[in-house]
Amino acid sequence: MLENFLPNVDWQDMWAATLETIYMTAMATFFTFVIGLILGIVLFLTQPHQAWANSVVNWLTGALVNIFRSIPFIILIILLIPFTQFLIGTIRGPNAALPALIIGAAPFYARLVLIALKEIDKGVLEAARSMGATTWTVIRKVLLPESLPALVSGITVTAIALVGYTAMAGVIGAGGLGTLAFLDGFQRNRGDVTLTATVVILVIVFVIQYIGDFLTVRIDKR
Amino acid sequence: MIELTNLTKKYQTDKGVLTAVDDVSLSIEKGEIFGIIGYSGAGKSTLIRLLNGLEKPTAGSVEIQDQKISAIRGKQLRQARQKVSMIFQHFNLLWSRTVKENIEFPLEIAGVPKSARSTRALELIELVGLAGRENAYPSQLSGGQKQRVGIARALANDPEVLLCDEATSALDPQTTDSILDLLVSINERLGLTIVLITHEMHVIRKICHRVAVMEAGKVVELGDVLTIFQSPREPITKRFVAQVTEAQGAEETVRRLREAYPAGELVRLGFIGEQTEEPVLTELIRNHPVDVNIIQGNISRTHGGAYGTLILQLKGPDSEIRSAISFLENRQVQTEVISGA
Ligand SMILES: Nc1ncnc2c1ncn2[C@@H]1O[C@H](COP(=O)(O)OP(=O)(O)OP(=O)(O)O)[C@@H](O)[C@H]1O
Ligand SMILES: [Mg+2]
C-alpha cells in the first residue's frame, strides 16, 4: 500500500538514517547538557556578590558564550572543519558532526542555565549559606534541584534545536535524515523521500517535546 | 554570650559611603530573648547578618561564646554557623524538598548520617506542631506552617543562638502570635538565646526580655522591655511604645467617643506590665458608687504583665467620679482624663 504513495522510499535506509539522527541528537544533547551546565554555573557564580565573584572570568566566559551563540550554525560547521578533522579523524559521518553540534548548542544552553539560576530565590541561597553550606553543596543541593524544571525545559528546547542542526549537518555529509532528504530526496528529485524524512523528523521533535513537558510537570513542586 | 564591640558596617554605594551599622556595642545574655526594633533602613538586617558572618564588619567585632565570628572564615565560619542559625521573613524553604527533607538539609550539611537525620527531622516536626505534614511540599503549606518548618530547620543542628529577621512580618496577627508562642516555648525548653528583629512593637512586647532601638545604624536606646515601656526616653522609642499602648488614631478616636458617650467622664488607663487590670477594676467598682462602662480596650498579656490601654466611661455624681479617678492614679495606673462632661 505504502509503496504506491511513496515509491522511492527505502525503508531500511530510512530506518538507518533515523537511528543516525537519534544518535547524533542524543550524544550532542548529552554533551551540551554537561558543558552548558558547567558554563552556566560558572557564569552564575562568578557574578558580583556570588561565591566565585570574579569579573574577569565572568566577562571571558560571557564573551565566549555570546560569540559562539551568535555564529550561524552552518558557518560554524565550516569553521570547525580543521578542528573536527583533527579530533575525529574525518569530517564525514555522525561522529564528525558532534563537535560542531556541541559547540553550537552548549553556549545556547549555558544562557538558558544562567537564566534558570537567576530565577532562584536569593533568600534560599542566603539560607543555605547561613547553615554553613559549602559552595559545592549549594550547587548540588540548591542551585540544581531548585532550577531543575527550567533546566529540563531548557534542554528540551536545545535538543529540538539540535535535531534541526543535525539535519543541516546532514547536508554536508553528517549522515542521518538530513543527508537522506538532501542527497536521496532533493538532489535526485524524489519528493516522497524528502517528505517522509521530514515527517520522521517532526515525529522525533514531538516525542522530545512530549518527554520534556512530561518531566517538567512531574518535577515542578512549586 | 554574644558580645558586639564598636561594630560598624559601611557600604560603598553610588552616592558615597553608607553607614548601615554605626558603632554598635552591646552584649546579649545566654537564654535571653533580645529584640532589636527600628524602622525600615535602620540597619537591623545588616546587624543580624553580621552576627552569623554573612557580612564582615568594616570595624569592630562580633564574639559569640568566645568565638570571634568577625575574624574567622572558611571551614571554621561554616561550622560556627551551624550553632548560630537563622529564620527569615519569607521562610526561604527549598520548594523542591518536602517538609522533612527541608529540615534534613542542615543535617546533610553537617554530615549527619541518613537514619539519624530522619529521626531528628521527625522529632522536630513533632516539636513545631507539624506532625502528619512531613511529606508535604512548601507550596502546600500556609505561611504559618512554612515558618514552623523554617524554625524546625533552624533548630536541627542544636544551635545556641537563633536569629530571627522579621520572622513574623509576613504573617497575620493570629499566626504571628502562634509563632511567637512557639519561639517562647523553644526558648524556655531548650534554653536557646534568641535575637529577634522587627519593626512591630507588639512582637517586642509579647516575647522579648530586653530591647534595643535602632535608628540610622545606631542603637539609641536599650533596656528591659518593661522599663522601656514605662519610661521611653528617645522620641523614636516613644513612637514605638505608642504603637501598642495607644489606640490607633488617638485624637480621632477620642472625638468620636466623646460624641458617642456624652455623659460622665471618659478616662484612659494605660497598663504597662506588672499589675493586672482585674484587681484595679474590681476595686474601682466595689469601692466607688460610679457606673463603669468599658468603651474600648486593647490589652495583652506578656511575661511582664499586662500591657495596653482601656478607655472607661465613668458616670455618677461629680465627687464620686473625682474620687474614683484619684483612686486610679494612686494605683500607679497611667490615668488620663480625656474629657469632662
Ligand atoms: N549590600 C548592600 N549594599 C549597599 N547598601 C546596603 C546593602 N545592604 C544594606 N544596605 C543599606 O544599609 C541600610 C540598612 O539596611 P538594612 O537592610 O540593614 O535595614 P533594615 O533595618 O533591615 O530595614 P528593613 O526593615 O527594611 O528590612 C539601608 O540604607 C540599605 O540600603
Ligand atoms: Mg531588614
The model's pLDDT over B143-192, given as tens digits with 9 standing for 90+, comes to: 999 999 999 999 999 999 999 999 999 999 899 999 999 999 999 999 99
pLDDT bucket at B253, cuts 50 / 70 / 90: low
pLDDT above 90 covers what percent of chain A? 78
B20 and B39 fall within a common domain: yes
CA of B214 to the centre of ligand 2 (A): 12
Q: What distances in angstroms separate CA A36 from CA A41, A115, A169, B20, B144, one per listed residue?
A: 8, 12, 21, 39, 39
B236 and B251 fall within a common domain: no
CA of B222 to the centre of ligand 1 (A): 21
B67 contacts chain A (CB < 8 A): no
So what's the pLDDT on residue B298?
A: 73
More confident site: B302 or B226: B226
Instruction: Assess whether pLDDT exceeds 60 at residue B247.
Output: no
Q: Count Cα atoms within 13 angstroms, Cβ side, for A76.
A: 22
Give B282 to chain A, closest Cα distance, Å.
51
| Containing structural domain, residue B321 | 247-339
The top-scoring range by mean pLDDT among A163-172, B96-105, B230-239, B259-268 is B96-105
CA of B209 to the centre of ligand 2 (A): 21
Final residue in a domain of this structure, among B243, B258, B291: B243
A12: CB partners within 8 A, 6+ apart: none
Measuring from atom 22 of ligand 1, which residue has the nearest CA? B45
Final residue in a domain of this structure, among B243, B275, B308: B243
So what's the pLDDT on residue B336?
A: 76
Mean pLDDT of B213-233: 90
Which numbered atom of ligand 1 lies nearest the CA of B55? 1
Instruction: Assess whether pLDDT exceeds 70 at residue B275.
Output: no
As for the ipTM of the complex, it is 0.89
Task: Give the chain B residue whose CA is nearest to the CA of A142.
Answer: B94
So what's the pLDDT on residue B296?
A: 77
So what's the pLDDT on residue B277?
A: 60
B42 and B141 fall within a common domain: yes
Q: Among B96-105, B111-120, B282-291, B293-302, where is mean pLDDT lowest?
A: B293-302
Verify whether the Cβ–Cβ distance B92 to A145 is below 8 Å. no
Q: Among A167-171, A198-202, B114-118, where is mean pLDDT lowest?
A: A167-171
Angle separating helix axes A94-118 and A81-88, nearest 10 degrees: 110
pLDDT above 70 covers what percent of chain B? 92
Instruction: Assess whether pLDDT exceeds 50 at residue A101.
Output: yes
CA of B182 to the centre of ligand 2 (A): 22
B125 and B161 fall within a common domain: yes
Mean pLDDT of A113-124: 96
Final residue in a domain of this structure, among B243, B266, B292: B243
Burial class (CB in 10 A: 0-12, 13-18, 19+), B139: exposed
B146 and B259 fall within a common domain: no
- CATH architecture, domain A10-219: Orthogonal Bundle (1.10)
Q: Is the CB of B200 under 6 A from ligand 1?
A: no
So what's the pLDDT on residue B279?
A: 77
Instruction: Assess whether pLDDT exceeds 70 at residue B95.
Output: yes
Instruction: Assess whether pLDDT exceeds 70 at residue B339.
Output: no
B83 contacts chain A (CB < 8 A): no
Q: What is the pLDDT of residues A134-187, one digit of tens each?
A: 999 999 999 999 999 999 999 999 999 999 999 999 888 888 999 999 888 888
So what's the pLDDT on residue B261?
A: 78
The residue assigned the cell 530510512 is: A14
pLDDT bucket at B55, cuts 50 / 70 / 90: very high
B320 and B216 fall within a common domain: no
So what's the pLDDT on residue B341?
A: 41
Mean pLDDT of B283-287: 86
B104 and B128 fall within a common domain: yes
B136 contacts chain A (CB < 8 A): no
Cα–Cα distance measured from residue B290 to residue B327, given in angstroms and rounded to the nearest whole number: 12
B253 and B331 fall within a common domain: yes
B284 and B299 fall within a common domain: yes
Domain edges within chain A: 10-219
Q: What is the number of domains present in chain B? A: 2
Q: Among A4-13, A126-135, B137-146, B161-170, where is mean pLDDT lowest?
A: A4-13
Average pLDDT taken over every residue of chain B: 88
Q: Which of B74, B203, B86, B212 is nearest to B150 (CA)?
A: B86
Q: Is the CB of B115 under 6 A from ligand 1?
A: no
Which residues sit with Cβ closer than 5 angstroms to ligand 2, an ion? B 45
Instruction: Assess whether pLDDT exceeds 90 at residue A58.
Output: yes
Q: Among A34-38, B44-48, B76-80, B307-311, where is mean pLDDT lowest?
A: B307-311
Angle separating helix axes B99-109 and B143-155, nearest 10 degrees: 30
Q: Could you give the residue ranges of the DSSP H alpha helices within chain B?
A: 44-51, 74-81, 99-109, 114-127, 143-155, 173-190, 201-207, 225-230, 235-245, 250-260, 277-287, 318-330
pLDDT bucket at B246, cuts 50 / 70 / 90: low
Which numbered atom of ligand 1 lies nearest the CA of B43? 18
B285 and B238 fall within a common domain: no
CATH label of the domain that carries residue B47: 3.40.50.300
